[in-house]
Amino acid sequence: MTAPASQGNFMQRTSAWFSALTGQGGEVLPVRVGGTEYRRATGTTPASVLGFDQALLWVVVALLAWGLVMVYSASIAMPDNPRFANYASTHFLTRHMMYLVVGFVAALLAFQIPMAVWERMAPWLFVFALVLLIAVLIPGVGKVVNGARRWLSFGPIGFQPSEVAKFAVLIYAADYMVRKMEVKERFFRAVLPMGAAVAVVGVLLLAEPDMGAFMVVAVIAMGILFLGGVNARMFFLIAAILVGAFALMIASSPWRRERVFAYLDPFSEAHALGKGYQLSHSLIAIGRGEVFGVGLGGSVEKLHWLPEAHTDFLLAVIGEEFGLVGVLTLIVMFLWMTRRIMHIGRQAIALDRVFSGLVAQGVAIWIGFQAFINMGVNLGALPTKGLTLPLMSFGGSAILMNLVALAVVLRVDYENKLLMRGGRV
């Protein structure tokens, strides 16, 4: 007895779908269902494997748009300050828009580069970052702002090599772990060379000085080592050494110690007009916002009370104008984005693309950790540290490298889906 023609066609379509998904008619690859879970594909799996993660893209666009509005709100009154008397009220808005345009163009170009090319470029990208970090320390080349030599000037535009260093260390660490996968249980052959590379970057960053960037670089490298499968005992040993090193740096620096003491009691007479000034006014701004905020544009603290309101302390203005609801919304968006990027990385590793997976997870660590530090500083949970809020704070270098990093994540997701439909990367 033969099967009906419709049933035969259904069997043929199902067989063809499975062959396209596996690429070789063998074991079915894991696919993402609903954007959150990885399951074995079955005949009823309604998973689309075309394009890239559009939900992630739209969340990034939403954060960028919100950041653009808040940068304008936080900086609109700055021309009233004699220091910025020659600036128009839209000065920072137009520059931020220019940075976004440049960042989108760079991201579009980065998306076109296959992950295999990024893997081959990893050592050279790391060397390039070292050259920039050395160049910024050369008198006459590096630009000094507020006592720190962190910028290279390209005409009217300043660029921070530390942002390139974060991305370069991320790519290099992922490539390094892939190359050292066979000896990851041996400290001197697997971990020590990577530790030495991070130490060199750290010395150059501390010479600027930029301890915040060094913290981010160290956490990125440590996170990739951990996700790459380094022995747990070695990992915790390195973590303990890093914590001890940061504690020693703070203890040996009078102005860093003063920042810590100011964080512990920002409203005291000794700190309120000194190292605790920014933090105390940040807390006042967030307190004024209460639950629903005072409304967009209604912040008082941005009127020359809160320094760097458009950069490091943008969250304080958001808290004042949008209240607790706005701050919680922002936290949820960053949590969702970090988790989504982590899942893209897990999917790449499930597809046996370890380098791509580690890169994606490294980007999640970078953005998640830096957002956590910035929010902690603004909320008084952490000592003041000069780290911007990713994708939102004013700053061309950070916006550019954040968008490039996210474009690479979307490339990872695109290649994952290309493989799952039977294509090649």
Q: Over the stretch 324-368, which tens digit does the pLDDT of each residue have? A: 999 999 999 999 999 999 999 999 999 999 999 999 999 999 999
Instruction: Cite the DSSP H helix spans in 28-114.
Output: 54-75, 91-111
Name 357's Cβ contacts closer than 8 Å, sequence gap at least 6.
345, 346, 347, 348, 349, 412
- Per domain, the residue ranges of the chain are 62-112+272-420, 117-252
Whether residue 156 is predicted with pLDDT greater than 70 in this model: the reply is no
Contacts of 216 (CB under 8 A, 6+ apart): 166, 366, 369, 370, 373, 387
Lowest-pLDDT range of 11-15, 129-133, 293-297, 325-329: 11-15
pLDDT single digits (tens) 97-125: 999 999 999 999 999 999 999 999 999 99
The band of 184, judged by pLDDT with boundaries at 50, 70 and 90, is: low
CA gap 208, 239 in Å, rounded: 24
Q: What is the pLDDT of residues 49-59, one digit of tens each?
A: 456 788 999 99
Segment among 32-36, 200-204, 231-235 with least mean pLDDT: 32-36
pLDDT value at residue 44: 37
Q: What is the mean pLDDT of residues 371-396?
A: 90
- Please choose, from the candidates 221, 215, 181, 175, the residue with its C-alpha nearest in 3D space to the C-alpha of residue 197: 221
The residue with greater pLDDT, 281 or 409, is 409
Task: Tell which wins on pLDDT, 18 or 52.
Answer: 52
User: Using an 8 Å Cβ cutoff, are 345 and 361 in contact?
Assistant: yes
| Integer angstrom CA distances of residue 191 from 45, 236, 290, 331, 345 | 41, 12, 47, 34, 22
Model confidence, pTM: 0.84
What is the distance between the alpha carbons of residues 133 and 117, in angstroms, rounded to a whole number? 24
**What span, in angstroms and rounded, lies between the C-alpha atoms of 105 and 352?**
30
Q: How confident is the model at residue 158 (pLDDT cuts 50, 70, 90)?
A: confident
Q: pLDDT per residue over 208-240, tens digit each?
A: 888 889 999 999 998 998 888 776 777 777 788
In the prediction, which pLDDT does 237 show?
A: 78
* Direct distance between the N- and C-terminal alpha carbons of the chain, in angstroms, rounded to an integer: 45
- Show the tokens assigned to 147: 């006592």
Q: How far apart are CA 59 and CA 333, in angstroms?
A: 7
